[in-house]
Structure 1
């Protein structure tokens, strides 16, 4: 994981969005989800919910999205 500012408030800063996008892209590819589909939109919502709930670790977010 790269070293960058991580929000502790649940507010997504630009570096946080890069992290979330990377996780989203990986999970979409692994699960065969096509960006722009309802399934992809739900995945993005789930990622933001996890982040807003205070889960900032890339591995944890990815694991939860892969098994959620």
Structure 2
């Protein structure tokens, strides 16, 4: 899932943001989280924290966010 152009440093580049947005949207739908809600904001923060911690795999991020 991760290409050679994807950040290994925790810095989110445009392709990384597309990935994180896709994950965010998917988890929001699955969990019934309303856009603009505090829960949605918390989810976005958690997604960025995981990415910044060096977790770049889409499936891993999704699993982590589903169980928070």
TM-score, normalising length from structure 1?
Answer: 0.94
| CA positional deviation for 1:6 | 1.2
Matched, 1:24 2:31: no
Counterparts of 1:1-68 in structure 2, within 5 Å, are 1=1, 3=3, 5-68=5-68
| CA positional deviation for 1:58 | 0.1
Number of residue pairs matched by the alignment: 68
What is the rounded CA distance, in whole Å, between the counterparts of 1:4 and 1:14 in structure 2? Answer: 14
Runs of 4+ in 1 over 6 A off after TM superposition: none
The CA deviation string for residues 2-50 of structure 1, in whole angstroms up to 9 with x for no partner, is 7562100000000000000000000000000001000000000000000
Give the aligned CA root-mean-square deviation in angstroms: 1.3
Structure 1 unaligned regions, length at least 5: none
